[in-house]
Amino acid sequence: MTTTVQPTVPPRPKATQKTHRAAPRTLLSPKAVSPRPILPQFYETLATALGPMHWWPARTPFEVIVGAILTQNTAWVNVQRAIANLRRERLLTPRALERVGQGKLSRLVRPSGYFRQKAKKLKAFVRFLRSDFAGSLARMLRIPTAELRERLLAVHGIGPETADSILLYAGNQPVFVVDAYTQRILFRHGLLGEKAGYEEARQLFEGSLPRDAKLFNEFHALLVKVGKNWCRPQQPRCEQCPLGPYLPSKPSPVVGVRL
């Protein structure tokens, strides 16, 4: 299926990039092109250049949630170590996390940093799951998206990015996850003000794209890859970046994002 391209959209990157036949380009139907076509074009370009991202790297929805909490303010490699510890101790279920002592839990998640706070957050989540949904993740994930988002945000330690990661990657619900990489990219491309907050960025994506969990899943992961590989806080490597052709002008060299 082909995406309609508006005349104001910059040309797509040329040949220097690898292409991957498996990239899910067909998620963008012609009907879906919005008055703000640049984000669908970003997606299409990145999916073609980088291929499928296979997110979220977890075995179960509950493991996604544990990872979403542990990844706050740390690199994923540290989360992997903490999750390996929890797996070794057979603690990657709501019931097991309810039962484990907080001291032991803190020690096990230590590699992810801020380990005492993160142990408390994990405990707060499983308490919420018990009190509101009888400990059933499936029951929690059946709640309508907007309502569940509000209820997650009321749990200790769950902010917008974590809540949306849970909704999208554990619940397969069409909510766009925004992170610092995303905000930096939007700002540098003139799509978002430097002082814009999380909700503004989220609305920009959700208002410009079809509400499709698979698309949101893939697009967020692609933007993370761009942020890690090219769109660094200082001295972005635009010449190598797949989004380079979309730059309105030279990007700001340093960006302070507000989440």
Interface pick for ligand SF4 out of 188, 202, 220, 225 (rule CB under 6 A): 188
Query: Does residue 238 touch ligand SF4 according to CB under 6 A?
Result: yes
- Count of CB atoms situated within 10 Å of the CB of 81: 14
Q: Can you give the chain as a three-state secondary structure string?
A: CCCCCCCCCCCCCCCCCCCCCCCCHHHCCHHHCCCCCHHHHHHHHHHHHHCCCCCCCCCCHHHHHHHHHHCCCCCHHHHHHHHHHHHHCCCCCHHHHHHCCHHHHHHHCHHHCCHHHHHHHHHHHHHHHHHHHCCCHHHHHCCCHHHHHHHHHCCCCCCHHHHHHHHHHHCCCCCCCCCHHHHHHHHHCCCCCCCCCHHHHHHHHHHHCCCCHHHHHHHHHHHHHHHHHCCCCECCCCCCCCCHHHCCCCCCCECCCCC
Closer to ligand SF4 by Cβ: residue 51 or 94: 51
Backbone angles phi, psi at 255, to 5 degrees: -130, 125
Query: What track of x and - describes contact with ligand SF4 for positions 127 through 166 (by CB under 6 A)?
Result: ----------------------------------------
Query: Does residue 230 touch ligand SF4 according to CB under 6 A?
Result: yes
Interface pick for ligand SF4 out of 143, 177, 185, 255 (rule CB under 6 A): 185
Interface pick for ligand SF4 out of 5, 32, 58, 247 (rule CB under 6 A): 247
Interface pick for ligand SF4 out of 192, 243, 255, 257 (rule CB under 6 A): 243
Query: Does residue 236 touch ligand SF4 according to CB under 6 A?
Result: yes
Rounded to 5°, angle at Cα 115 from 113 and 116: 145
Query: CB 237 → ligand SF4: shortest distance, Å?
Result: 6
Interface pick for ligand SF4 out of 122, 251, 255, 257 (rule CB under 6 A): 251
Query: CB 39 → ligand SF4: shortest distance, Å?
Result: 13
Closer to ligand SF4 by Cβ: residue 162 or 182: 182
Which residue stretch of 3-11, 128-136, 153-161, 225-233 sits at the interface with ligand SF4 (rule: CB under 6 A)?
Answer: 225-233
Query: CB 242 → ligand SF4: shortest distance, Å?
Result: 7
Query: CB 37 → ligand SF4: shortest distance, Å?
Result: 17
Residues that bind ligand SF4 (CB under 6 A): 185, 188-189, 226, 230-231, 236-238, 241, 243-244, 247, 251
